Amino acid sequence: MDHSLPQIADPIPHATPAEAGRRPEAPQFTDDPMLDRLYGVTLALVTELAVTRSRLDALERVLTRRELVGQGDVDAFVPESADATARSRLQAEYLERVLRALE
């Protein structure tokens, strides 16, 4: 079975074209190269989720500082009925997207 993936261009250009190919191949730590890649993507997602959570936290704190939101308002938030339906839909759609591969 061919495990090779298409090359994805790095968004940041290499120093010179000559240097692009000089990196040694990434080491493989599991018996399946796909699993190594899955770890790579998962850890990048872990990082990006932390970025998003921190950004939400920053936003709440800025709003609190400016007295647009009171301390604990977000934790105590209970959606009104129409909002609740919209949020339920968002959550269901989100899970459907994330779990697509398991269906």
Partner 1 sequence: MSFPSPWHTIGRHGLLPAATHDEMVRFDIVAHLNAQIAQSLSPKVKTAYESRARQSFRLRHGRDPVDRHEVAEAMRQEPAYRVFSLVRRNTMEIRQHAGRQLVAREAESLRDRAKSANEGADTLKLDPTLEPPRYVSAVDTHLMRGGYTAERMTDDVTNPANYDAGMYATTGGAAGPWNDAAGRALVDWLRREHPQFKPRRIVDLGCGLGHNTLPLRAAFPEAEIIAIDVAAPMLRYGHARARSLGVSDVTFLQADATDSPIEDSSCDLVFTTMVLHETSRQALPRIFSEAHRLLRAGGLTVHLEQPPYRGLDPFEQFMRDWDGRFNNEPFWSALHESDLPALLVKAGFGAGNVFESRCAALPPSQTTLKNEDFGRAPSWYVVGAWQAAKGIAALG
Which residues are near partner 1 by CB under 8 A? 11-16, 19, 22-24, 26-27, 29-30, 36, 39-40, 43-44, 46-47, 50-51, 54-55, 58
Closest listed residue to residue 70, CA positions, set 59, 78, 60, 79: 60
In sign, the C-alpha dihedral spanning 73, 77, 79, 84 is positive
Whose Cβ is closer to partner 1: residue 3's or residue 87's?
3
User: With contact defined as beta carbons under 8 Å apart, do 60 and 69 qualify?
Assistant: yes
**Could you tell me the smallest distance in angstroms from the CB atom of residue 69 to partner 1?**
18
What percent of the chain is helix, strand and coil (3-state, nearest 5)?
55, 0, 45
Whose Cβ is closer to partner 1: residue 56's or residue 84's?
56
Whose Cβ is closer to partner 1: residue 4's or residue 16's?
16
**Could you tell me the smallest distance in angstroms from the CB atom of residue 29 to partner 1?**
5
